[in-house]
C-alpha cells in the first residue's frame, strides 16, 4: 500500500536537489542576482512539492470519509429495504409538492417583483413566508432521496 502511495506521489512531484549547493554547482562568472534567482526558484519548487503533498493527503482524507459514508448508506438500505422503498415513494410525492411550491413562489415573485423590490416590509414578509418552508422542503427532500436511491453496481463495489 505504501509502495503504491509512493509511486503515485512521485508522479505528482519533481526531484530537485535543494541542499546548500557548493560553488561548483553554479557556472563560473554567475552574478549574485542569478544565484539568488536560482535559490528562489529552488525554494519555489520545494514549496510547490510540499503543497502538492498536502493536497494529495487532503484528497485522500476526503475520499476516505466519503467512501465510508457511502458504505454506511448502502448497509442501511440493505438492512431496511422496506423503509428505503417507502422513502422513495415519499421522495416522489414530496418532489411534486416541492415543484408546486416553487411554482407558487415564482408566480408570486413574477407578479409582485416591484413591490418586493421597493418595500423592505414586503420583501421581509415574502422571505418569511417562503424561505423557511423552502429550506425545510429542500432538506427533507435531500434526506429522502439519499435514503431511497437504489444502490447500483458501482456503489456497492469497492470502486473509489
Query: Shortest CA distance to 78 belongs to which of 147, 127, 133?
Result: 147
Q: Above 50 in pLDDT, residue 114?
A: yes
Check residue 28 and report its DSSP letter.
Answer: T
Q: What is the mean pLDDT of residues 138-156?
A: 76
Q: Has residue 111 got a pLDDT over 90?
A: yes
CA 39 to chain centre: 36
pLDDT tens-place string over residues 38-68: 999 999 999 999 999 999 999 999 999 999 9
Q: What average pLDDT does the structure give for the chain?
A: 82
- At residue 81, the pLDDT reads 92
Q: What pTM, to 2 d.p., does this model score? A: 0.56
Alpha-carbon span 149 to 129, nearest angstrom: 31
According to DSSP, residue 29 is labeled T
Evaluated on CA atoms 149, 154, 158, 160, the torsion sign reads negative
Amino acid at each position: 500500500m505504501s509502495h503504491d502511495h509512493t509511486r503515485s506521489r512521485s508522479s505528482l512531484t519533481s526531484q530537485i536537489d535543494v541542499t546548500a549547493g557548493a560553488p561548483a554547482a553554479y557556472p563560473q562568472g554567475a552574478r549574485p542576482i542569478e544565484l539568488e534567482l536560482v535559490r528562489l526558484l529552488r525554494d519555489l519548487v520545494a514549496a510547490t512539492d510540499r503543497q502538492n503533498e498536502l493536497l494529495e493527503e487532503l484528497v485522500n482524507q476526503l475520499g476516505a470519509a466519503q467512501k465510508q459514508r457511502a458504505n454506511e448508506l448502502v448497509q442501511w438500505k440493505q438492512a431496511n429495504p422496506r423503509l428505503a422503498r417507502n422513502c422513495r415513494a415519499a421522495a416522489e410525492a414530496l418532489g411534486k409538492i416541492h415543484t408546486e411550491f416553487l411554482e407558487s413562489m415564482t408566480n408570486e415573485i413574477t407578479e409582485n417583483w416591484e413591490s418586493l423590490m421597493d418595500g423592505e416590509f414586503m420583501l421581509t414578509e415574502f422571505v418569511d413566508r417562503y424561505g423557511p418552508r423552502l429550506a425545510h422542503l429542500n432538506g427533507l427532500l435531500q434526506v429522502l432521496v439519499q435514503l431511497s436511491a437504489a444502490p447500483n453496481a458501482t456503489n456497492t463495489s469497492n470502486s473509489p
